[in-house]
Amino acid sequence: MNMHQFEVLVVGAGGAGLMAALYASRNAHTAVLSKLYPTRSHTGTAQGGVGAALGNIEEDHPEWHTYDSVKGSDYLGDQDAIEFMCSEAVDAVYELEHMGLPFSRTPDGRIAQRPFGGHTNNRTGKPVRRACYAADRTGHMILQTLYQQCIKNRVNFFDEFHVIDLLVNEGVAVGVVALELATGELHVFHGKAIIFATGGHGRIFDITSNAYAYTGDGVAITLRKGIPAEDMEFFQFHPTGIFKLGILITEGVRGEGGVLINGKGERFMGKYAPTVKDLASRDVISRAMHIEMQEGRDIDGKRYLHLDVRPETVNKYAAEDDRTNPDGTPYQVTGEEILKKLPDIIDFCRTYLGVDPVTQPMPVQPTAHYAMGGIPTNKFGEVVIDENNTVMPGLYAAGECACVSVHGANRLGTNSLLDLIVFGKHAGIKAAEYANQVKFVPLPEDATGFSRQQLDAILNSSGSERIADIASEMKTVMNDYVGVFRTEDGMKRALEVVRQLKGRFKNVRVDDHGKIYNTDLLNAWELSNLLDLAEITATCALERKESRGAHARDDYPKRDDNNWLKHSLAWTRNGDVEIRYKPVVITKFQPKERVY
Ligand SMILES: Cc1cc2nc3c(=O)[nH]c(=O)nc-3n(C[C@H](O)[C@H](O)[C@H](O)COP(=O)(O)OP(=O)(O)OC[C@H]3O[C@@H](n4cnc5c(N)ncnc54)[C@H](O)[C@@H]3O)c2cc1C
């Protein structure tokens, strides 16, 4: 038997996992397990920036950041947690700078900042420059910087170890079971504190900006252990994915002055968000795009619109908007400046589309981007398992797989990278603190039993169902019916199909029965996670009879604070989804209508 023992076990080596590991390792013997090589984690694809009210370029305050995030969340975010995140943001970004992160700079050498959707000057309502960035590869820089720091701090890494199960003994989290890709062997990791930082699950949708590895493993594993998932009906569609491919074009493009244009050549966002226009929050813009296309103002009858960042377009609309530089001079850009600020985006478009954004508009459509829901935690990263916020001893979660909840019904751009560094850090600190106070709780009997059972069921199936067929049907119904706009009939249809697919999954066949690098087996297991999460997403969406943030339905088009200002908690019990609700924490800001 492959047995390992560490005080703190971190599952996931993205921004959240590495930050947690860095802090935990200062006080406890810590290991990180990751199914990917750490620097291949999805954090590395984040482009636009990390939000913090540094006020380096113009007036800004953590209080404004807090209010914008509460408003952006459509009042579903817990205000105590949001306030905590926004007030920690400034120090968190300077900490990254001191670790050596190569941020882009202002001419006088401070961290450069750009505008992003929903971030405003609270006095004027106009966009404020709050996103700290390293060109358009901010996440890449964060991931590299944190990985180097972890190596320096002698964190133990188990790369390409795929966690299959969480071990629980008498209500206490005591370890995990992982399959080592290179050998196919199961390993048992015994720990005092376990931190899940496994990222999102956008692969339940067809058009998505998310990496192939975004299969919701952490949420699915904890659900199987009787831990609920919070606010799963809220999934963010980012307005600008490359047509058909879903690959993300950062909001930073609009931050630099890019605009959305419909098939009639009109800049349409002014109709939907008169003050901030193309820099409204993502849910608002995705819906506006959907309406434009639905009403026939798409491009040549195809389901896309144009994102235009050509200098002549940027300059024309900047003049129309009276946009100025920090020194008050009119905002104008050149092709070279665009190229310097958005090098990766320009490269993607040239490579994947044969389109040069400096001289041509980019074809874009909304793309499934970010899971607001996940494993419920408090602001210290401790996992809470019911409506009373009862803490589960030994279990922590941070990053996209967690729901603190700071993003509520809709996350603001740049607030995820911030979430990773703030809550990753606090989860790491708390986990180490806890590990120093308690003894190892024994492992349950037959620690690998449930993992073997799950994998054997796939390996021994004699059925003929193919992973790709089931995945593709799931993604299509989820995209069509549980996407930007939702109808009762559509959601019911999606749920029915997903349930049928779960039945068909029992007959799934894998071709590879070997042990070494059996990705066929793991892809099948990941699909079982996606099916579970698709079912929960559709069920919670069907139950929530209002429209709020990213959840927009035609039969209940308005937000309903009297009945629905509450978080959903969903459990899987005996093959069914059970939903209960818990209150939203409101401190300073009473809900009001969102106007952008
Ligand atoms: C294209 C793109 C651009 C983005 N741009 C921005 C941006 O500019 N600003 C912003 O704030 N946010 C942005 N986001 C969102 C943000 O990047 C992510 O939400 C965030 O990086 C997630 O970090 P994480 O640490 O939670 O997960 P990840 O970075 O995805 O890491 C997950 C880790 O978990 C591991 N893992 C998963 N399952 C298992 C398992 N079963 N066993 C072992 N290990 C496992 C993986 O190996 C990986 O190391 C962007 C997202 C995308 C997709």
* Protein residue with its CA nearest to atom 50 in ligand 1: 46
Q: What percent of the chain has pLDDT over 70?
A: 100
Half-sphere exposure of 442 (CA within 13 A, CB side): 3
What pLDDT is stored for residue 326 in this prediction? 83
Residue type, 324: T
Which atom of ligand 1 sits closest to the CA of residue 49? 8
Per-residue pLDDT of the chain (596 residues; tens, 9 = 90+): 799 999 999 999 999 999 999 999 999 999 999 999 999 999 999 999 999 999 999 999 999 999 999 999 999 999 999 999 999 999 999 999 999 999 999 999 999 999 999 999 999 999 999 999 999 899 999 999 999 999 999 999 999 999 999 999 999 999 999 999 999 999 999 999 999 999 999 999 999 999 999 999 999 999 999 999 999 999 999 999 999 999 999 988 999 999 999 999 999 999 999 999 999 999 999 999 999 999 999 999 999 999 999 999 999 999 999 999 988 999 999 999 999 988 988 998 999 889 999 999 999 999 999 999 999 999 999 999 999 999 999 999 999 999 999 999 999 999 999 999 999 999 999 999 999 999 999 999 999 999 999 999 999 999 999 999 999 999 999 999 999 999 999 999 999 999 999 999 999 999 999 999 999 999 999 999 999 999 999 999 999 999 999 999 999 999 999 999 999 999 999 889 999 999 999 999 999 998 88
What pLDDT is stored for residue 245 in this prediction? 92
Among 508, 262, 287, 269, CA closest to 363: 262
The secondary structure of 536-550 as a DSSP string is HHHHHHHH--S-BTT
Among 530, 528, 531, 532, CA closest to 510: 528
* Protein residue with its CA nearest to atom 41 in ligand 1: 163
Distances (CA, A) of 322 to 59, 136, 155: 18, 25, 51
Residue position matching structure tokens 């971030």: 119
**Spacing, Cα 151 to ligand 1 middle (Å):** 20
**Spacing, Cα 39 to ligand 1 middle (Å):** 11
Pick from 136, 143, 417 the residue to mutate for probing ligand 1's pocket: most ligand atoms within 8 Å of its CB. 417
**Spacing, Cα 310 to ligand 1 middle (Å):** 30
**Spacing, Cα 261 to ligand 1 middle (Å):** 30
Which atom of ligand 1 sits closest to the CA of residue 398? 26
What pLDDT is stored for residue 595 in this prediction? 86
* Protein residue with its CA nearest to atom 21 in ligand 1: 43
- For the four alpha carbons of 126, 131, 132 and 138, in that order, the dihedral sign comes to negative
Which atom of ligand 1 sits closest to the CA of residue 402? 26
- The number of residues in the chain equals 596
**Spacing, Cα 243 to ligand 1 middle (Å):** 22
Rounded Cα distance between 116 and 414, Å, is 8
Residue type, 374: G
Rounded Cα distance between 67 and 198, Å, is 28
Pick from 85, 250, 342, 416 the residue to mutate for probing ligand 1's pocket: most ligand atoms within 8 Å of its CB. 416
Distances (CA, A) of 543 to 321, 495, 564, 581: 41, 12, 10, 11
Cβ-Cβ contacts under 8 Å for 231 (sequence gap 6 or more)? 76, 372, 373, 374, 403, 405, 408, 409, 540, 567, 568
* Protein residue with its CA nearest to atom 14 in ligand 1: 46
Q: Is 439 exposed, middle or buried (0-12, 13-18, 19+ CB in 10 A)?
A: exposed
Count CB atoms within 10 A of the CB of residue 436: 13
Cis peptide before 34 (omega within 30 of 0): no
Rounded Cα distance between 414 and 583, Å, is 26
Match domain 1-234+372-445+561-596 to its CATH number in 3.40.50.180, 1.20.1050.10, 1.10.3470.10, 3.50.50.60.
Answer: 3.50.50.60
Residue position matching structure tokens 């026939």: 296
Which atom of ligand 1 sits closest to the CA of residue 51? 11
Which atom of ligand 1 sits closest to the CA of residue 401? 26
Angle at 373 between CA 487 and CA 10, to 5 degrees: 155
Can you read off the two tokens belonging to residue 11? 């599952």
Q: Ligand 1 pocket: which residues have CB below 6 Å?
A: 11-17, 33-36, 38, 41-43, 45-50, 138-139, 162-163, 197-200, 209-210, 213, 217, 248, 250, 370, 399-401, 413-417, 420
Among 166, 121, 117, CA closest to 369: 117
The phi, psi pair for 217, rounded to 5°, reads -60, -45
* Protein residue with its CA nearest to atom 38 in ligand 1: 198
The phi, psi pair for 576, rounded to 5°, reads -115, 165
Q: Give the residue numbers marked as catalytic.
A: 282
Q: pTM to 2 decimals? A: 0.96
Q: Of all residues in the chain, what percent are helix, strand and coil, respectively (each to 5)? A: 40, 25, 40
Q: What is the CATH number of domain 449-560?
A: 1.20.58.100
Half-sphere exposure of 251 (CA within 13 A, CB side): 35
Query: DSSP code of 213?
Result: T
Cβ-Cβ contacts under 8 Å for 63 (sequence gap 6 or more)? 86, 122
**Spacing, Cα 277 to ligand 1 middle (Å):** 28
Distances (CA, A) of 317 to 126, 188, 411, 442, 589: 15, 59, 27, 65, 33
What pLDDT is stored for residue 327 in this prediction? 87
Domain ranges of the chain: 1-234+372-445+561-596, 242-365, 449-560
Which atom of ligand 1 sits closest to the CA of residue 214? 30
What pLDDT is stored for residue 510 in this prediction? 96
Rounded Cα distance between 39 and 14, Å, is 7
**Spacing, Cα 150 to ligand 1 middle (Å):** 17
Pick from 41, 203, 529 the residue to mutate for probing ligand 1's pocket: most ligand atoms within 8 Å of its CB. 41
What pLDDT is stored for residue 344 in this prediction? 87
The secondary structure of 486-511 as a DSSP string is B-HHHHHHHHHHHHHHHHHHTTB--S
Contact of 497 with 169, CB cutoff 8 Å:
no
Match domain 242-365 to its CATH number in 3.90.550.10, 3.90.700.10, 3.40.1190.20, 3.40.50.2000.
Answer: 3.90.700.10
